[in-house]
Amino acid sequence: MGVRLKTKLSIGLIFLFVVILLFGILGIYYVNRLGNDAGLVLKNNYESLVYCSNMLKALESISQRKDAMSQFRDNLAKQQANITEIGEKEATDDLTKNFGELLADPNDSTNYIEIRESIYEIQELNQMAILRKSLMAQQTAEKAKLGLTILFTILTLASFTFIFNLPGIISDPIRSLSEGIQEIAMKNYNKRIYLKQTDEFGDLADAFNVMAQKLDEYENSNLAEIKFEKSRIETIINQMHDGILGLDDNRNILFLNAVAEKLLGLKEKEIVGKYAPDIALKNDLMRNLLRSPSGDEEKRELKIFADNKESYFNKDMINVTTNDRVIGQVIVLRNITIFHELNEAKTNFIATVSHELKTPISSIKMSAQLLNDERIGALSMEQRELSGSIVEDSDRLLKITGELLNMTQVETGNIQLKIQPSAPALVVEQSVNAVRSQAQLKNVAINVHQEPSLPHIAVDAEKTAWVLINFLTNAIKFSPDSGSIEVDVYKKDSAVEFSVQDHGMGIEERHLPKIFDRYYKVPGGFERTGTGLGLAISKEFIEAQGGEIWAQSNIGIGSRFGFKFKVA
């Protein structure tokens, strides 16, 4: 016996779960490795450098400060308890001996040179240790990158194989069955379906062929035989996992299967032959099923309490026609709850990983900034460039994780807003100040034009400023050096409008309808580091507060992004 469809789907879902689990475990493992290696760089060696620096300062001021000797003694004691490197103990012992000679005769400064040499030796040992441990962290990062790249390549190839094969396994038999049903509806009872499958679709195709054969026979059979075979067909429909409801051309109920009975809370024998709109007067779900979809409603899902939980269904209304005349309708409710659950698991996974990544990335950024501190030790030009690259990459990763966390709020519908009357001028001021240093790096001027005494608006000032900062950041990126950006804030009708105009290369009109879609990036742009989430999150933030957002652009002239809120 061949593999059943349910088994194939289960194998596919287990495969996806293993992919997510394996990639997550490996990612967390390497992130922890990187965090541990980075921590080694600062743990004890940095403390020794601080103690040595304090002792040098105290030594220089022994003759001027009374507490200098006590300060030197305290830092020496801390250093004696913080010996971690080979040779550090001998250098510390020499320093202790020389300091003891100084204590014996504080006025004798002849051994200052020996004391300094011992301190310099301790510093050199710890600086070399920091460099060595930094190299260890770098090697760990390279191993993590290589391992994750190999795993990603393998899993991607396997996933592509799965993606290309599974849809065909499901869609091809359905298409064949759909074509066969259409032929039967046209009374072509000679139609047969041949599937080289031994799963549920194969069973359904066999049942279809039996049905078609019987229908061919029923053309010349008596009414009793027709009723008997009708019951066989109803049995097949009742075995399907989707809810199915049949109506005639007058919208009278012809049949509904067991799944539909359970969802509607009605018995077939009690409502067959009755006018469906009359049933809908006392049944909310029936009323929704009979409503003809239009616009956004066509894509709307139905949330129904089924199987002791909230379940989601897609509704399909299929017209049954003969000779170009509609003779009835079949309403199919497809259960898509499992896809909602998978999407929720994906969202939770992204939120968890993004949240966990923020701490180690911040630590990496702080470590790189500390390396630039001259108190730790002077860096060469190449080292400064490397540490600068680390800081820039850390900032970019922090921005990406922040956007992913915001997007999980949007996807789960948990956008937390603090709506209160806010002054537009204050929102603009905070936003401009946040990007001023970034604009100065490109010598881009930010010109603010706002009407005086603008009325307050009821918004979440922090999230509104976030959107305006995102507009300004994008405008700076796409503005030429020594260019300018115009920020306009004015009252129009009963609303306050904010807009940011740049003078960059502009966006083609065909891309504007998708500019606020998630993960969408304008093809051909020079920006490669973004996630494509910033504008999508901006749209969600503005619309969640009852505002409107828009984008306008002309090639060679620039782009204008804006939003507006009603006056509070």
Count of CB atoms within 10 A of residue 13's CB?
Answer: 12
pLDDT, position 229: 67
Q: Is residue 75 part of a domain?
A: no
Please check whether residues 432 and 548 belong to one and the same domain: yes
Both 272 and 283 in one domain: the answer is: yes
311 and 366 assigned to the same domain = no
Nearest to 205 by CA among 196, 194, 214: 194
Q: What is the pLDDT of residue 495?
A: 93
* DSSP H/E element including 362: helix 337-371
DSSP 241: S
Same domain? For 184 and 251 the reply is yes
The pLDDT averaged over each successive group of 10 residues in the chain (568 residues) is 62 72 73 60 74 83 79 86 86 84 75 83 85 81 81 79 69 75 78 73 76 71 61 71 81 82 80 84 81 57 73 79 81 74 59 60 71 70 75 66 61 71 93 89 93 91 89 92 94 93 91 82 61 80 90 92 92
Answer yes or no: do 386 and 271 share one domain: no
Are 450 and 404 members of one domain?
A: no
On whether residue 373 sits in a domain, the answer given is yes
Please name which of 207, 196, 162, 241 lies closest in space to residue 2, comparing C-alpha atoms: 196
Last residue within a domain, chosen from 340, 371, 399? 340
Position 36 in a domain = no
Pair 211, 335 in one domain: yes
pLDDT value at residue 553: 93
Predicted pLDDT at 496: 95
Domain assignment present for residue 283? The answer is: yes
Tokens describing residue 351: 């939120």
Q: Using DSSP bridges, classify how beta strands 309-322 and 325-335 pair: parallel, antiparallel or unpaired.
A: antiparallel
Asked if 389 and 403 sit in the same domain, the reply is: yes
Are 272 and 386 part of one and the same domain? Answer: no
The number of distinct structural domains making up the chain is 3
Q: What is the pLDDT of residues 266-292, one digit of tens each?
A: 888 888 888 888 888 888 788 877 877
Q: What is the pLDDT of residue 296?
A: 47
What dihedral do alpha carbons 28, 29, 30, 36 form, nearest 10°?
Answer: 100
Query: Which of 360, 386, 412 is the last residue before a domain boundary?
Result: 412
Give the separation between CA 519 and CA 220, rounded to whole angstroms: 60
- Answer yes or no: is 211 within a domain: yes
DSSP symbol at 307: T
Domain boundary among 340, 363, 385: 340
Write the secondary structure of 520-544 as one string of H (helix), E (strand) and C (coil): CCCCCCCCCCCCCCHHHHHHHHHHH
CATH number at residue 424: 3.30.565.10
Q: Looking at the structure, do residues 281 and 406 belong to the same domain, yes or no?
A: no
Instruction: Give me the helix-helix angle, 534-544 and 381-412, nearest 10°.
Output: 40
Residue 31 lies in a domain: no
Same domain? 378 vs 429: no
List, in order, residues 6 or more apart from 473 with CB less than 8 Å away.
435, 438, 534
Q: What is the pLDDT of residue 510?
A: 87
Residue 245 resides in a domain:
yes
**What region, left, alpha or beta, does residue 499 occupy, with left being phi > 0 and alpha being psi -120 to 50 degrees?**
beta
Residues 432 and 510 reside in one and the same domain: yes
Task: List the CATH number of the domain containing 291.
Answer: 3.30.450.20
Q: Is residue 241 a part of any domain in this protein?
A: yes
Domain of 216 in residue numbering reads as 173-340
Q: Which residues contact 340 (CB under 8 A, 6 or more apart)?
A: 312
pTM across the whole model:
0.38
Give CA 331 to chain center in angstroms. 35
Residues 439-486: tens digit of each pLDDT: 998 999 999 999 988 999 999 888 898 899 999 999 999 999 999 999
Residues 421 and 458: beta-carbon distance below 8 Å: yes
Q: Mark out the alpha helices in 413-529 (DSSP H runs).
A: 424-441, 461-477
